[in-house]
Amino acid sequence: MDEITELITLINEFRDERDWRQFHNPKDLAISISLEASELLENFQWKESNEAIQENKNDIQRELADIIIYSLMLSSDLELNIEDIVKNKLKENNLKYPVDKSRGLNKKYTDI
Ligand SMILES: [Mg+2]
C-alpha cells in the first residue's frame, strides 16, 4: 500500500468509527477545506511570514493537516486518484507556465 492510500485508509477508519461519513457530502467537504484554509491564514494575519512561522508553527502544521485530511476525504469519496489528479494538474500548469516564459516571474499565465 502506498503512503497516500495508507493515509486515506486511516482517515476513513477514523470517520467510519464515528459514523461521520453521513455528514461528509462533497459540498460540505469543500466548505471544510476552505474553512481550514482560513484557519491556516489566521496564523499569518498581521505578521511577516517568518514571524508567523516562528510563533505559530505547531498551529500551522495542524491546520495544514486539516486541509490535507479533508482533501483526502473528498478525493476518496469522489473516487479520484491523488497521484493522477496532481500529475494531471502539474501537466496543465506546465503548459500554462512554460519554463522559458515564466522562470523567475510571479505573473499569472494570462499576463506572461
Ligand atoms: Mg482546523
- pLDDT of 1 reads 76
The pLDDT averaged over each successive group of 10 residues in the chain (112 residues) is 94 98 98 98 98 98 98 98 97 96 92 88
- Output the DSSP codes for 67-101: HHHHHHHHHHHTT--HHHHHHHHHHHHHHHS-HHH
- pLDDT of 7 reads 97
Distance 83 CA to ligand 1 centre (A): 24
Residue ranges, CATH 1.10.287.1080, the chain: 3-80
Distance 37 CA to ligand 1 centre (A): 8
Distance 63 CA to ligand 1 centre (A): 5
Name the class of domain 3-80.
mainly alpha
- pLDDT of 82 reads 96
- pLDDT of 40 reads 98
Largest CA distance in the chain: 51
- pLDDT of 112 reads 87
Alpha-carbon distance 74 to 76, whole Å? 5
- Cell numbers describing residue 65: 493537516
- pLDDT of 54 reads 98
Is the Cβ–Cβ distance between 76 and 12 less than 8 Å?
yes
Distance 84 CA to ligand 1 centre (A): 27
Type of residue numbered 14: F
pTM of the model: 0.93
